[in-house]
Amino acid sequence: MSTIDLNFEEELKTFCENTALACFNCGTCTAVCPLVNDNFPRKMIRYIQVGAKDAILENANELYKCLHCGLCTHTCPRQADPGEIILGLKRFVVANWRRS
């Protein structure tokens, strides 16, 4: 259970160009991702949309499996640029790791 934080979207802007809210949860990114992780990267994009900051930090190890092949960004029908967002999330995680 997480409390959603709609300001997170602003907060992330310092780490990447945040296009997460363009996503309409179609799942194409997850379908084409060569990693066999469940719902990656869609789940991360969704966590940004609802501002589930804790969930992102708890699952941060998933981010480091990403190969940055760019297939998700290439196929995204909404130009939400998932690849760039994942990169930005890594920066966010580094900045916030074990801060609390």
Partner 1 sequence: MMKENDKKVGVYICYCGGNISDHVDVEAVRNRVEKMPGVAVAKTNMFMCSDPGQELIIDDLKSGKIDRVVVASCAPSLHETTFRGAIERAGANPFIYEHANIREQVSWVHHGDPATDKATVLISAAAAKARKLKPLEPIRVDAKKHAVVIGGGIAGIKSALEIARNGIEVAIIEKTGSLGGNLNNLGRLAPSGENASDILQEILGKVKAAPSITIHTGCEVTDVQGYVGNFTLDVKGRTDSFKIDTGAIVMATGSVSYQPFEGEFGFGTYPQVITLPTLIEALKQSKYQTETGWFEFGGKPVRNIAMIHCVGSRQIPGIHEPRENGQLNEYCSRTCCSAVLNAANQIKERFAKTRVVDMYRDIRTYGRGQEALYDRASANKVVFMRYEADAMPTVEKSSTPDFPLTVKIKDGLTFNEEMDVPADLVVLATGIEPSDVSGLASAMKLPVGTDRFLLEVHPKLRPVEFPVAGVFLAGTCQAPMDAGEACNAAGAAAAKTCALLSKGVIELDPFVAEVNPDKCQGHGNCVDACIKEGALKLVDVQRGGKTVTQAQVTAAMCLGCGACAAVCPEKAIDLNGWALEQYEDMVDAIVAA
Using the rule CB under 8 A, give the single segment among 2-10, 58-66, 69-77, 89-97 that binds partner 1. 2-10
- Residue 66: CB minimum distance to partner 1, A: 19
Plot region of 35 (φ>0 → left; ψ -120 to 50 → alpha; else → beta): beta
Binding mask 57-86 for partner 1 (x = CB under 8 A): ---------------------x--------
Q: Which two tokens stand for residue 47?
A: 């966590």
What is the residue whose two structure tokens read 């966590």?
Answer: 47
CA distances from 12 to 22, 40, 42, 60 (A): 15, 19, 17, 15
List residues near partner 1 by CB under 8 A. Answer: 1-4, 6, 9, 21-22, 24-25, 39, 43, 46-47, 49-50, 52, 55, 78
